[in-house]
Amino acid sequence: MIKHLKIGIVCYPTYGGSGVVATELGIALANKGHEVHFISYDQPFRLDLYSENIYFHQVNVPDYPLFEYAPYELNLTSKLVDVALHEKLNILHVHYAIPHASAAVNAKHILATYGIHIPIVTTLHGTDITLLGKDKSFKPVIEYAINQSDAVTAVSENLKAETLDNFNIKNEIKAIPNFIDMSLYNQECNKSLRNKFAKKDESILVHISNFRRVKRVQDVVKIFEKVNSQVPSKLLMIGDGPERLKAEQLCRKLGIDRQVKFLGKLKGIEKMLSIADIFVLPSETESFGLVALEAMASKVAVISTNSGGLPEVNIDCKTGFLSDVGDLNKMANDTIHLLKDTDKLNEFKNNALAHAKTFDLPNILPQYEAVYQDLSCKIKK
Ligand code: GMT
């Protein structure tokens, strides 16, 4: 067993759950003494904390007039070979099947020609399987990348099952859920912040996402309109993306634009979650729903759909309520029911916090370390 591993982590640097998980995993591993090399086309958005064990390698994609489409995957593959060789990595952990796992598999085969054998861990996050995976043109690459990885993890039992159902997988898939660093979350409401957004008698609903279609942000607005007609309330919309404008237009059309604040992309969402009563996540699908877990860690009850891995996070009638995708009446009525019954709301908030604690970093990190150690032992033999 190697006490302190050299681990390469490949992830998307953008505002999204997979980047958050990869970055926070890397930071936690570095804090435990492992040497972590992040490899991505930009600095991951939550990587603002440097330690002596953390390095960042940027993948540059030169603009050649010859190529109509820049071959990012090849630039990434070359970078992986270079970093693995010169930093003497023990493990490459890639988040997302394509293009990260497929580039890593390629890099692994190239490294083998130098006599270097480096195991690849692939973590599946969801849209690589649930959305891209449904596009048949990607199927052979996704299948190959998963089957050629040395270990594969999925962020929920549901995603594991979906992957096994939709692909011809020969590898074992281990479900390791998303995690949360509970020490970063504050369960005390920041009253002065709250007063900036709502009056004393108003409840606060929050939605956070990258405003992709899969998040169904217009449903958030429609649910809020129904809630607001019965309970004095405000809605805070945090994040940005392709569906934001439509959601803003809908608020104006419904005449609730003064009750809804679009705050854009924010760092430090913990502060905003501390002032929320209800978190609304009406997604078409979520392999896990990390943001719901973040809300629960802030002692917020969750109204969500029952799609994908959400039932593993939001426990129906306990930490919040689950509904079928698009069942806006139920989601609105469940919210109204909770907001009108303070005891029930407090009970749900406490349950949410208790359930979130089961996903605390110290419970999940050893599961990844066990995967790495298992592989590094096998490679040494
Ligand atoms: O949800 C997004 O749009 C971002 C996406 C990503 O690829 O970063 O999140 C996925 O991975 C997260 C971390 O594992 C999960 O918590 C999200 O549920 C998952 N999103 C979807 O499945 C839609």
Domain at 6-179+360-380, CATH class: alpha beta
Length of the chain: 381
Does residue 290 have its Cβ closer than 6 Å to ligand 1? yes
Percent of the chain, pLDDT > 90?
80
Strand (E) or helix (H) holding 234: strand 233-238
pLDDT in tens, 303-322: 999 999 999 999 999 999 99
- What residue's CA is closest to ligand 1, atom 12? 17
Question: SS3 of 42, please?
Answer: coil
Give the mean pLDDT of 99-116.
96
Does residue 178 have its Cβ closer than 6 Å to ligand 1? yes
- For the CA of 12, the nearest atom of ligand 1: 8
pLDDT in tens, 313-370: 999 999 999 999 999 999 999 999 999 999 999 999 999 999 999 999 999 999 999 9
DSSP letters spanning 316-330: BTTTEEEE-TT-HHH
Does residue 126 have its Cβ closer than 6 Å to ligand 1? yes
According to the 3-state scheme, what is the secondary structure of 284-314?
CCCCCCHHHHHHHHCCCEEEEECCCCHHHHC
Residue to substitute in 179, 290, 296 for testing ligand 1 pocket (most ligand atoms within 8 angstroms of CB) = 290
Does residue 314 have its Cβ closer than 6 Å to ligand 1? no
pLDDT recorded at residue 130: 66
Percent of the chain, pLDDT > 70?
96
Q: Which is more confident, 107 or 71?
A: 107
pLDDT band at 291 (very low <50, low <70, confident <90, very high): very high
List the one residue out of 270, 322, 317 whose CA is nearest residue 296.
270
pLDDT band at 48 (very low <50, low <70, confident <90, very high): low
Q: How many CB atoms lie within 10 A of CB 141?
A: 17
Residue to substitute in 96, 153, 176, 287 for testing ligand 1 pocket (most ligand atoms within 8 angstroms of CB) = 287
Structure tokens, 278: 């209800």
pLDDT band at 16 (very low <50, low <70, confident <90, very high): confident
pLDDT recorded at residue 1: 75
Give Cβ neighbours of residue 227 (< 8 Å, ≥ 6 apart): 205, 233, 332, 335, 336, 339
pLDDT recorded at residue 381: 43
Q: What's the CA gap between 264 and 237, in Å, rounded?
A: 7
Does residue 216 have its Cβ closer than 6 Å to ligand 1? no
Does residue 23 have its Cβ closer than 6 Å to ligand 1? no
pLDDT recorded at residue 131: 64
pLDDT recorded at residue 71: 86
For residue 149, report the distance from its CA to the centre of ligand 1, in Å: 21
- For the CA of 286, the nearest atom of ligand 1: 22
**CATH 3.40.50.2000 residue window(s) in the chain:** 6-179+360-380, 182-357
pLDDT in tens, 210-263: 999 999 999 999 999 999 999 999 999 999 999 999 999 999 999 999 999 999
pLDDT recorded at residue 189: 84
Q: What's the CA gap between 54 and 47, in Å, rounded?
A: 10
- 69 with 99: CB under 8 angstroms? no
Q: Which is more confident, 376 or 22?
A: 22
Q: Which is more confident, 130 or 260?
A: 260
Does residue 305 have its Cβ closer than 6 Å to ligand 1? no
pLDDT in tens, 142-192: 999 999 999 999 999 999 999 999 999 999 999 999 999 999 887 788 899
Residue to substitute in 125, 211, 244 for testing ligand 1 pocket (most ligand atoms within 8 angstroms of CB) = 125
- For the CA of 18, the nearest atom of ligand 1: 8
CATH T-level assignment (fold) for domain 182-357: Rossmann fold (3.40.50)
